[in-house]
Amino acid sequence: MRSYYIFKSGRLRRKENTVFLEYEEDNKRNRKVIPIEDIDQIFVFGSVNLNTRFLEFVGRYEIPIHFFGYEGYYIGTYYPRERAVSGYVLVRQVEYYKDIEKRLNIARKIVEAALHNIRRNLTKKGYEDIAEKVKEYEENLRDAKSVIDIMSLEAHARKTYYSVWEEITGWPFGGREMHPPSNHLNALISFGNALMYSNVLKEIYRTPLSPAISYLHEPSEKRFSLALDIAEIFKPVLVDKLIFRLVDLKMLSMEKHFVSGSSGTFLNENGRKIFVQAFDENLVKTVLHRTLKRKVRYRELIRLDIYKLLKHIVEGTNYKPLKVWW
């Protein structure tokens, strides 16, 4: 099973046990056939028509559909009915959210792992002095008395991290901006983070955890905030490193792969295709897992981290998010 990315505008429909994408190109009507058993999740970047019959069909196979706007903005996810509902897990999740010490413990460990992974990126790029500054923020997490304190330390650490991105990539940056991204690096970060969030959400969906109850980010009516929590751990590993590689290898060009205007700077269709292909390739790469003593894919590392959180909430085991050593 794999992810499918739809960039064409057209119509998604069901025919028996197959998904059909119908679209026009060069004044010709085309059809792409996708066996339902081959689909893990669908990302829609084009303007696509679909109906409730199609949604019922993909929902039966538990396939989430992530929707992005014309400029690459994440819009939302069609989230099929939960397959692993557990009232007990939901109650425990809420208990850990309402207990400030338990919530602080989880939030602190998420940010510790995220900052550790940021330091690994900096060290591998030869910025040991900046990595040491980030480590100071990481150590100060132990004294944080609230989630707001933890998020403030993370924000300062990321600002320190971003201060060398222009030097690392050779592209103009000037700091993190999101709404809208004003330059090419900000566009890459926003797009990569949206892909990361979507993939984490898909993995949460396959557990009894509710994606709406989180510990670092405040739960919100308009987003699945637990996916934001877990994504923090993996963004340095799967998004930031990918951006550095694509720029360093000149696989992306500021002139060829972006569009800029009054609404900001965004990847064009060709740029998005290059990014998602490289992102997908990373997800299936393997690393040696120290505890399991076997090679695991990055996609599996995300799933394992979510299950570690689940065990922590249900069984009280020590939650240890991923800290890369490679």
- Beta strand 28-35 pairing with 48-49: unpaired
Query: How many Å apart are CA 197 and CA 189, to the nearest integer?
Result: 12
Domain ranges in the chain are 2-63, 87-315
Q: Quick check: do 2-63 and 87-315 share a fold?
A: no
- Asked if CATH classification 2.60.260.40 holds for the domain at 87-315, the reply, yes or no, is no
The predicted structure's pLDDT at residue 198? 94
Domain 2-63 CATH (choose: 3.100.10.20, 3.30.1700.10, 1.10.10.10, 3.30.1490.20): 3.100.10.20
CA dist list (Å): 197 to 52, 66, 104, 211: 25, 10, 22, 11
267, 290 in Cβ contact below 8 A?
Answer: no
CB 220 within 8 A of CB 100: no
**Is the pTM of the predicted complex or chain greater than 0.85?**
yes
Residues 17-32 have pLDDT tens digits of 888 888 877 677 888 8
Nearest to 76 by CA among 194, 160, 187, 219: 194
Q: Which residues pair with 21 in a beta bridge?
A: 12, 32
3-state helix/strand/coil string of 3-39: EEEECCCEEEEEECCEEEEEEEECCEEEEEEEEHHHE
Q: Read off the pLDDT of residues 83-112 as tens digits, 9 standing for 90 and up.
A: 667 889 999 999 999 999 999 999 999 999
253 pLDDT higher than 90: yes
- Is residue 311 within 8 Å of residue 208, measured between CB atoms? no
Sign of CA dihedral 154, 156, 161, 166: positive
Contact between 198 and 74 under an 8 Å Cβ cutoff? The reply is yes
